[in-house]
Amino acid sequence: MWKRYVVKKNELALLMSEGDFVKVLEPGVFKALDPFNRLSMQPVRLDAPLADAALADYLRVQAPDIVSRYFVAMDLGDDEAGLRYEDGLLVELLPPGTRRLYWRGLFEHRLERVNLAAGSELPKELAMRLVQPTLRARGVAGLVGVLLAAVPAYNVGVLKIDGKVERLLEPGLSAFWRYSRDVSVELVDQRLQALEVGGQEILTRDKVALRLNLSATWCYADVLRAFAQLQKPVDHLYRELQFALRAAVGTRTLDELLEDKQMIDEVVTAQVRARLADTGVDIRGVGVKDIVLPGDMKTILTQVVEAEKSAQANVIRRREETAATRSLLNTAKVMEDNPVALRLKELETLERIAERIDRISVFGGLDQVLNGLVSIKSA
């Protein structure tokens, strides 16, 4: 009929009668008369809040003296967040509307309230604390309620709250509450960037299918204006480059494109700059990397080039032959009227012949050689 309950020194317990709360048992030995076996004891964890939410609501209303003696109440409004400390150390971020009762005795509990209506950004000091390795290693709960945005150098962050662009974040660390709002940060590189538009299949005006690869360099002239007018600036720029390239190629013949590829760059640059004039996106340069022809068209163009080069070679060959013949004719006229020149030509010819022969035997004297009676015997 008598029951004996023992509560350890580092514990508390709830005395229940048929599942209904009776009182809180402190450390020690407790005896109670229970002839009908209705009583039970439930040990509780002092490092956790009271798990029974219904019992917590009952104690707040019907037993405020028990709450003030054994618990630390941490109740937050709908526009409040909380920083919960145990023995001076931050252990948890509490969301709005939190209602908890923490047991006294094991830790010194403290609640720091944050008014969410005053702003969504956390103080710089608190943001730096949240990213400390020691804090994360300790296992702080509720970090999902904070957006940590680390903006690297040469970048800015576009802050959006509930889908609306608010402002730009400078390089560094920033933190924002996620409670009651949709917060996002998009990193934007402010340096000069390259955009490749590859594999574009386009028909020329004379119905030749070409594949072109285009490269463009660009940067943000005004980030806020770009994101205010364009949902995705990079995708928009890519489409504008596609349209401009098709307009430049589709209105010209293959011969026009091959003769002046620089014209494509100029046309595309002018059209894209005109379309993006007030969007905050600046095009610095556009260039066609290569033009890929179909296989049969390559063969035809190769034959055309070969024929053109062969014709040019024939013209040059005929021109050189004509010049050589004219030079020979002029030389013959000079030697016809000048015997000395004729004799010098003979000596020059003899010298060239002698260069190719190891030994020369001359009979009859030098005069006969010069008069054409030359007998050459090679050993």
How far apart are the C-alpha atoms of 184 and 331, rounded to whole Å? 91
Q: Put the strands of the sheet holding 39-44 in their side by side order.
A: 20-25, 12-17, 39-44
Residue ranges, the chain, pLDDT below 50 = 373-379
Q: What is the DSSP letter of 121?
A: B
3-state secondary structure of 114: strand
pLDDT at residue 136 in the model: 63
- Give pTM, 2 decimals: 0.65
How far apart are the C-alpha atoms of 372 and 118, rounded to whole Å? 120
pLDDT at residue 352 in the model: 73
86 touches 131 (CB < 8 A): no
In DSSP notation, 69-124 reads HHEEEEE--TTEEEEEEETTEEEEEEPTT-EEEEESSSS-EEEEEEEGGG-SBPPH
Cβ-based burial of 4 (10 A; exposed 0-12, middle 13-18, buried ≥19): exposed
For the domain made up of 193-293, give the CATH fold.
Answer: Tetrahydropterin Synthase; Chain A (3.30.479)
What is the residue extent of each domain of the chain?
Answer: 1-44, 52-115, 119-191, 193-293, 338-379
What pairs with residue 287 in β-bridges?
A: 215
pLDDT at residue 301 in the model: 62
Name, in order, each residue with C-beta under 8 angstroms of 329's C-beta and a sequence gap of 6 or more: none
How far apart are the C-alpha atoms of 234 and 132, rounded to whole Å? 35
pLDDT digits (tens, 9 = 90+) for 102-116: 998 888 999 999 999
